[in-house]
Chain A
């Protein structure tokens, strides 16, 4: 095998005059520059292909994002991008205000989230795989603890009795 520095115009190994060494050094540089251009080209191509793919699936998610079923809808209390990133802090902050301070008029209440985001099919935010909270949390592999205690469905007219499900029959 011919070393790349030789292939790209450096003098053969034997003549190690300062001029030859310099020209070999330049050859290395030139080779690296070429590689860099190639890498840039490839990465540009990849980006172009990916963005084209993203455009084709923009309407219907095909595995590149969580598949969320249609919810009751309406306008979110804040910019969706902001909410996506910060909803956990907002909810936690307001839960302390409500629980300890008795302030129940905050903007970011879990009750309001559930009322709006409950899916039309299951009437819930976390029962089925496609429900609003569940779909995204499954996608991100983050466990939701909220609905062990909090209602995941908006209040219905029917009587609510929290039913215990014993592991062992009494």
Chain B
């Protein structure tokens, strides 16, 4: 401030700052009154008991033991459909978030069964190609579609090496409260993000263990103390299409 500047009318030096001070206080008061609703909002937002949200310290992943996965069992698929309000394929164009596949070693004839869904890549091709930024990866590694931004171009469907994404062709009704879905957008496995945020396991994992198979293990790949990290560290596991270097969050053992 210019307190030491001599006043042209040679007023006492203290007078001008006090007037300025008064104006400043008045202005601050007015600003306070005008901003009051906004300020209150921020305070409320911060004071609300928040779950911290997605953190980059965590990386959610799954380890699927194809040795335990029973051929012909589709409990994980059913659980996914129920949890997310999917029809399970009533129409040929209906969405499919998880599917069971059978693989066969041609020479020996050995068959194996495993579930296939979004692999929640660390470097997801669907995110790379999305022109609007709707396809994104959360801080904790879960790959999602923001349907508010999705324009339904389906580049991500083309880019995904796992055929994990579906496009909603028809208008939908009676969606689940926690799983908004709508025509004209792309969708895929969300790793049951609404359950994970509440500290629960994805529906397919629960269904598999309820069926007595326990073939899917869900946990934090970044935490060395977690069950999944210990298993990945001590037993061989593979990513499907390792050659693409996508660093998938879903890993398979026994294939």
Contacts and interface: CB of A to CB of B under 8 A. Distances in A.
Contacts, number: 111
A160 B50 contact: no
Contacts of A66: none
Interface stretch (B153-161, B172-180, B200-208, B242-250): B172-180
A9 B80 CA distance: 90
Contacts of B12: none
B90 A154 contact: no
B172 A164 contact: yes
A167 B170 contact: yes
B8 interface: no
A115 B103 CA distance: 46
B48 interface: yes
A161 B85 contact: yes
A102 interface: yes
B138 A102 contact: yes
Interface string A84-112: 00000000000101011111111100010
A114 B178 CA distance: 12
Q: Is the interface of B mostly helix, strand, loop or mixed?
A: loop
Contact of B53 (A101, A114, A170): A101
Contact of A161 (B37, B48, B136, B174): B174
Chain B, interface size: which category?
35 or more
A134 B47 CA distance: 32
B173 A162 contact: yes
A165 B171 contact: yes
A166 B172 CA distance: 9
A148 B170 contact: no
A104 B52 CA distance: 9
A100 B85 contact: no
Interface in A12-57: none
Interface of B: 37, 44-45, 48-54, 81-82, 85-88, 90-94, 136, 138-140, 144, 146-148, 168-178, 180-183, 185, 193-194, 197-198
27 contacts: A97-B53, A100-B54, A100-B146, A101-B54, A102-B54, A102-B139, A102-B197, A105-B48, A105-B51, A148-B171, A149-B147, A149-B180, A149-B182, A150-B177, A151-B175, A151-B176, A151-B180, A154-B177, A163-B90, A163-B174, A164-B94, A165-B170, A165-B172, A165-B173, A166-B91, A166-B170, A170-B91
Given A151-B174, A164-B93, A167-B170, 11 more contacts: A97-B53, A99-B148, A100-B136, A101-B53, A102-B139, A149-B181, A161-B86, A162-B85, A162-B86, A162-B174, A163-B172
